[in-house]
Amino acid sequence: MGMPYIKVGSAYRYDKEEVIQWLKNNKISPLDKTGYKEIEIDYSSSSEALEAIGILSERIKKEDMYAEVTGKNTITVYLRQVDMNKLKSIKSDNAVIKKIIDAIESIKSYGVKGGKRIFVDYDKEKKVTNRKQKEQARGKYFYAQGHEYAKQNNQLPDEFVNQIICGDSEEVLKKLPDNCVDLIFTSPPYNFGLEYDSHDDGYFWDDYFNKLFKIFDECIRVLKYGGRIIVNIQPLFSDYIPTHHIISNFFMERKLIWKGEIIWEKNNYNCKFTAWGSWKSPSNPYLKYTWEFLEIFCKGSLKKEGDKNNIDILADEFKEWVIAKWAIAPEKDMAKYGHPAMFPEELARRVIKLFSYQNDVVLDPFNGVGTTTAVAKKLNRKFVGIDISKEYCEKALKRINQITLPYF
């Protein structure tokens, strides 16, 4: 039997006293309100409020959802789970019903089971009890504990601000004071045997890593406390050298904190299926990769201090970019700049906006033709670019000089 109603003119309305008695008879008012998510809805018409309660009680099971008047102009909806299609199928011009539906629709955190949205305990199995205590007991980033990094940060000397410097990065960086750079973003030579302007990219691996790590040691020294170093690297799969793991292990040994890893999906693989491996056989299948890695490390602290007024990342950008897989096409102008291994400006733009503030100092110790430094200037960051090639440095400087601010 449905709720009692009376006809007023051409409209049907619910009688308040009869509705209250009907609710009592049908035991709509719950005795136990625990285990429900509560939503408060304002109303201006008591008759509409009572009508909304009645409609919900008829259409939705009490153990899933119910409502009651809890204030002079307030209804509280007790919500556990609901079939949204069924709820939205209610044909009514009742303003309170519409408010309730809108309020439930605005809840963005829920589970789904059996066609219903689950609002209570949907993530119970995923939760770790006493999480903070357990984290303290086992220790976060245990490998970085006991570091001796100074918290006092320093200014980058004016002579290095917004400069493209030609030279050996290890030697140039020795001229910089400790803790003076906010963000380091770089892509070291791959050691693939590529022909760069002034050096051979085909070192023996021991020599390659020994030199690279000397440069990285200087990078760590000049990085500010709380600063980030982000290395774009593609492992040499044909030699089975996991360079991204080797480099990450180096930073962990230096007690930097691993913040995460971003997959840069390039979608550009054009290798034959039989290259370096077997065809249609488990003998030696060669795995094909269309992505590179961005390994992210922090010095001393995961949190970087900065002026909130200098945050320039937009909300939509933040929500998209914290998902650590970025689909960005490779650089198309490598022939134009005469460089065999450039990353695109979009990659640098995302890194710089997500991990630094305006007016921060951005360093690239393998600056090449200056993608990092060009984007840093466009985004109102100070920059230092270092490369051993005079030709590349000249091209990087030319790119910088062609940028007129404000760029955007």
Q: What is the pLDDT of residues 219-246, one digit of tens each?
A: 999 999 999 999 999 877 667 889 999 9
| DSSP E strand boundaries for 31-140 | 37-42, 65-71, 74-79, 81-82, 111-113, 116-118
pLDDT tens track for 280-339: 788 888 777 888 999 999 999 999 999 999 999 999 999 999 999 999 988 887 777 767
Taking alpha carbons only, the member of 63, 113, 73, 72 closest to residue 95 is 73
Domain at 144-401: CATH code? 3.40.50.150
24-38, 45-59, 218-232, 313-327 — which is least confidently predicted?
A: 24-38
Mean pLDDT computed over every residue of the chain: 85
Residue 181 CB neighbours (<10 A): 30
- Please, which pLDDT band fits residue 248 given cuts at 50, 70 and 90? very high
Q: Is pLDDT at 172 greater than 60 in this prediction?
A: yes
pLDDT of residue 408: 63
Distant-in-sequence, close-in-space partners of 117: CB < 8 Å, separation ≥ 6: 81, 82, 83, 84, 104, 107, 110, 111
Cis check: omega of the bond before 406, within 30 degrees of 0: yes
Q: Is pLDDT at 31 greater than 50 in this prediction?
A: no
The radius of gyration of the chain's CA atoms, rounded to the nearest angstrom, is 31
Coil, strand or helix: which one is 118? strand
| DSSP E strand boundaries for 167-251 | 181-186, 223-233
Taking alpha carbons only, the member of 172, 209, 204 closest to residue 188 is 209
The encoded tokens of residue 109 equal 């955190």
* Residues 14, 152: Cα–Cα separation, whole Å: 71
- Please, which pLDDT band fits residue 377 given cuts at 50, 70 and 90? very high
Torsion of CA 78, 81, 85, 89, to 10 degrees: -30
- Please, which pLDDT band fits residue 361 given cuts at 50, 70 and 90? very high
Q: CATH 3.40.50.150: which residues of the chain?
A: 144-401
Q: What's the helix, strand, coil split of the chain in %, to 5?
A: 35, 20, 45
- Please, which pLDDT band fits residue 191 given cuts at 50, 70 and 90? low
- Please, which pLDDT band fits residue 149 given cuts at 50, 70 and 90? very high
Angle ∠(176,216,343) on CA atoms, nearest 5: 100
Do the beta carbons of residue 63 and residue 105 sit within 8 Å?
no
The encoded tokens of residue 191 equal 């050691």
| DSSP E strand boundaries for 273-396 | 291-298, 325-327, 361-364, 382-387
pLDDT of residue 19: 61
pTM attached to this predicted model: 0.67
* Residues 197, 211: Cα–Cα separation, whole Å: 18
